[in-house]
Structure 1
Amino acid sequence: MGDRWRRWAWVPVFVVGLILYLVVLRTLVSTKNPNFVPALILLGATLVPLTFLTFAQARTGRWQVPASVLVTSAFFGGVIGTVVAGTLEYDTLRGLGTLPMLFVALIEESAKLIVPVVLLFTVVAQRRRRVPSDGLIIGIAAGMGFAALETMGYAFSALLSSQGNIGAVEQTLFI
């Protein structure tokens, strides 16, 4: 029974997250209280990446990577990855113009690897039994953090550029 539950754990993650998103959206629209905007953006930006992380973690066999390592990878991978990528992309585009879009893609993907590599060589390396899927799951968690923060940035930019139109935020999160 535990194996079956683990394989389908992504479904309740997605359903509960979607319900929470819709409740926050409904509350925001009905009350017009801007205090709900950050919650809407957070839920909208993290729902799909968290669902995918849960799906991938269940497909690796036993849940071997501790939740603390995944949270660390997602949080620091997201923050460090977006900051490094954003800084290097800005410098690349400013210095070389629009031609080096290939460099931007390489920068972004490389920036996502910083935290997983550090975690693999520190935390995971200390464990006696390691499997290749450990690195995969830690990498997915870092990518999840990066995707969530990047999406939150796009949603916030849509909010500002549309002068507070929640529909523009919702459309950005949906896309």
Structure 2
Amino acid sequence: METLMAKGKAGESNPYTGLGLDESGNWLPGSPRILSLLSSVLERSVRGNEKLLAGSKIKDVITIFHGSRAPSLNLRHYVERIFKYCKCSNSCFVVAVIYIDRFLQRIDAYLTSLSVHRLLITSVMVAAKFMDDQHYNNAYYAKVGGISREEMNRLEMRKVVWKPKLLCKLKPIA
């Protein structure tokens, strides 16, 4: 393995370490770097959208995901909390961000501090059910996310859109 000089210290360049993995592909202790990157992307998006909405006459679409006030827990800590207690794969977080983006595009809404937490916990839960072999029930995700089970059930039903799309044309078998 190649050795690099970084800030006066020698270190090995390991592509796994940057992703939060050891050489066997197992997660390193602590929060993986991808979660930090995703929370930064979401935070920047929220700040940019709120600045855009405040400085223009554009009105945001109010959805079931909007709260009356922003939660006191910042987004980075919220992501770490979900990771710690839900034990879902990192790919669930990536898929969750894709789900959030597609949902917002579909309804022409903006990601704001009033909606990001509920959208995130719901999207992670839906992604875990789709991506991971094991997942928790809705009541558990609701507890981790700081909402009621009933609200989580409503959010999930609003989030899940049953519009499957084929990625290729199917030809009849001759």
The structure that has the greater radius of gyration is 2
> Larger RCO: Structure 1 or Structure 2 (Cα < 8 Å, ≥ 6 residues apart)?
1
TM-score by length of 1: 0.30
TM-score by length of 2: 0.30
Greater share of strand: 2
